[in-house]
Structure 1
Amino acid sequence: MATEFEGLDKLMDTFDRRTVGHKLLQERLQDFSDGWNDNREKMIEEIKGLGEVAKTAGEAYTEIDTELYNALVGKDKKK
């Protein structure tokens, strides 16, 4: 998701007055794009942070699951 957000600035740069057909519309689109860039950067960082949290949680759940399995089948961790 973060990768998709990172590529949006290139897409927004493709819209110019000729593409939209009206100078005022293009200016409004540019204003929106400029504000969106600031917010998008914040969102990208938040999404990346959530990805790291999810990865760490997944690793912890895998470790817990393995320890529970070993306890149920009687495997000793020290062996």
Structure 2
Amino acid sequence: MGGEADHTRLDLEVIRGMGTGLSTIKKAFDGLEKLGDKYEDDFGDGDLAEKFGDFASNWEISREKLTGEVDALAQIAKAAAKAYEDIDHQLAEAIRGAQDPKKGRK
């Protein structure tokens, strides 16, 4: 049976990479043109133009929500990687301090 270390092992590069990748996706969404502005005139007048307008409007609202959620996940992943890295450094320092009896005496 595995020890406690099996449950706390993290790949910080994967977590950090996830944050970077999600930020890239957010930037791509931010750079998309509004569909209605780009193709509005191509549909002319009538039902098809109205349906496309509805679709473009709904897509814009959904894209904004999705962009916000992707950005939030990116920030969480980056913060998690930083927090785990800080904890790892603090634990390493504590272990080094415990192993070096000279450090404890001043």
Q: What TM-score do you get using the length of structure 1 for normalisation?
A: 0.67
Aligned residue number for residue 45 of structure 1 = 68
Q: Is the 8 A contact 1:17 1:23 kept in 2?
A: no
Q: Which has the higher contact order (CA 8 A, sep 6+)?
A: 2
> TM-score, normalization: structure 2?
0.53
Q: Match for residue 38 of structure 2?
A: 14
The residue aligned with 1:54 is 77
1:3 equivalenced with 2:27 (yes/no): yes
Two-structure CA RMSD over aligned residues (Å): 2.9
Letter in 2 for 1:14: K
What percent identity do the matched residue pairs reach?
A: 33
Q: Secondary structure in 2 aligned to 1:31?
A: helix
Contact 2:34 2:60 in 1 (8 A): no
Q: Could you list the structure 1 runs, at least 4 aligned residues long, displaced by more than 2 angstroms after superposition.
A: 20-30, 67-72, 75-78
Q: Aligned to 2:39, what secondary structure does the other structure show? A: coil
SS in 2 for 1:67: helix
Q: How many residues align?
A: 75
Q: Which structure has the larger Rg?
A: 2
Q: Report deviation, 1:11.
A: 5.4
Does the C-alpha gap of structure 1 residues 56 and 47 become closer, same or farther in structure 2, counting only changes over 3 Å?
same
CA contact 2:40–2:49 (8 Å) conserved in 1: yes
